Amino acid sequence: MPHVLLLGTLDTKLEEILYLRSRLLETSARFSIPLEITLIDCGRQFTSCDVATVSHTDLVARYSRDDPSDRLSWTRGQTIQFMAGCATRCVREIVTTSEIHGIIGAGGSGGTSLIAAVMRDAVPIGLPKLIVSTVASGDTGPIVGETDITLMYSVVDIAGTNGLLRNILGNAAGAMFGMAVTYEHDTTKPANPINTRSKSGLKTRVGVTMFGVTTPCVDRIRHHLETKYSAEVFVFHATGHGGKAMERLVEDGQIDAVLDITTTEICDLIAGGNMSAGPQRLEAALKGGIPNIISLGATDMVNFGPMSTVPSQYRDRNLLVHNSSVTLMRTSLEECKRVGEFIVNKIKTYAQDPKLVEIWIPTGGVSSLGTPDGLFADTKADMALADTIRLGLKGSGFRIIDDKRDINDVGFASDIAESLMALVNNRTSAKVHDP
């Protein structure tokens, strides 16, 4: 029997959430597949609802970490944060004690923010997640984050149950039911998606970061690892959320080794581009003590939107229109030094075992634009980055490989893939012989 969690703020969306619940049950009956629904009331205040599995009162009483006695005087934002915390702890407990096959909710901007926070923090990537939202057609990055949340635009406000909204909520119920049934019978998903590193089976799961300008390298790595080692390769587009997603999966134990070919997100963090993965980039694999090779793919560029969005202080820089929505800026010597310092600091601060970490420096070019005849060729800037890393890690025990080839060279790709698997095999052997 598929089991779906239904989240809603019943003090403001009672009629709509109950309608969504009824459509889930109708769909279940139509296909003669029993469905279990756990309804959690995340509203600001108690609302009587006979079918609520976890009432507002129970949610606050059991899962609050703060004194909620004066919560009616809180701002709307404070209340959303408080209730999101309660709901997150509740859902985490449910996920660890019973089998869940999907999670769904509906709301306006506040409800969406609350429900999305729960979906991002309490359930694993891969579990079906769906929100019917009034803000699903705007900037959805902060809602989805690095996860696989599905958003359905409500078109009209979620206020009442007019014909159009009923149709959309019905579609959402059908979509969630279909996803939940499929997920229940999916034999490829982990039995327990959280912390499954020790139960990963025969295949080594490798995370690899990629950008358009490092695609030839990553494609060859993927083919090499899949054909020679039967590895399962997860390729992450280094657009900010891609780096975050990889680190999230590492933390969840769903990746066994990392080939961080494309570390361009660090450039965006330092220079204010729009594809930063945040200040915690690189930390997950280092903290996790898994085999980890860090390279410098696309560290010769910062990403902005259309040319008109490039900050005025950068208008005289080496800029390239990558496509109608992306403008690339060549990183300067000083910015490259800061990228190197960032990498050195993360490695020295968080690496658990120097024997499981390598840094590969392709001195022939870090992207298809950074080769000697490329539009972003800048030997001094590239040398500044490489020298910063070499000097910063000197005598620290970390292996640094200076490779004269460019990052997209066929040999570079196969050699770095082989080096990662050597780290994987060495770690496996060490575990076997560890008393």
Token reading at 291: 């085999």
pLDDT-derived band at 138, boundaries 50, 70, 90: confident
Residue-wise pLDDT for 97-122, tens only, equals 999 999 999 999 999 999 999 999 99
pLDDT-derived band at 68, boundaries 50, 70, 90: low
Report the side by side order of strands in the sheet with 357-362: 232-237, 205-210, 257-262, 292-297, 357-362, 399-403
Residue-wise pLDDT for 176-190, tens only, equals 999 999 999 886 665
| Whole-number Å distance between alpha carbons of 151 and 134 | 10
Q: What's residue 4's pLDDT?
A: 97
Q: Is the pLDDT of residue 303 over 80?
A: yes
307-311 average pLDDT score = 94
Q: Is the pLDDT of residue 312 over 70?
A: yes
Q: Which CATH class is domain 197-433?
A: alpha beta
- CATH 3.40.50.12030 domain span(s) along the chain: 197-433
pLDDT-derived band at 425, boundaries 50, 70, 90: very high
152-168 average pLDDT score = 91
Q: Are 261 and 299 in contact (CB under 8 A)?
A: no
Q: Which CATH class is domain 3-184?
A: alpha beta
pLDDT-derived band at 166, boundaries 50, 70, 90: very high
Q: Are 41 and 52 in contact (CB under 8 A)?
A: yes
Of 392 and 199, the one with more pLDDT: 392
Q: What's residue 141's pLDDT?
A: 86
For the chain, how long is the longest CA-to-CA vector?
Answer: 71
Residue-wise pLDDT for 326-375, tens only, equals 999 999 999 999 999 999 999 999 999 999 999 999 999 999 999 999 99
pLDDT-derived band at 45, boundaries 50, 70, 90: confident
Q: What is the pTM of this model?
A: 0.82
- CATH 3.40.50.12020 domain span(s) along the chain: 3-184
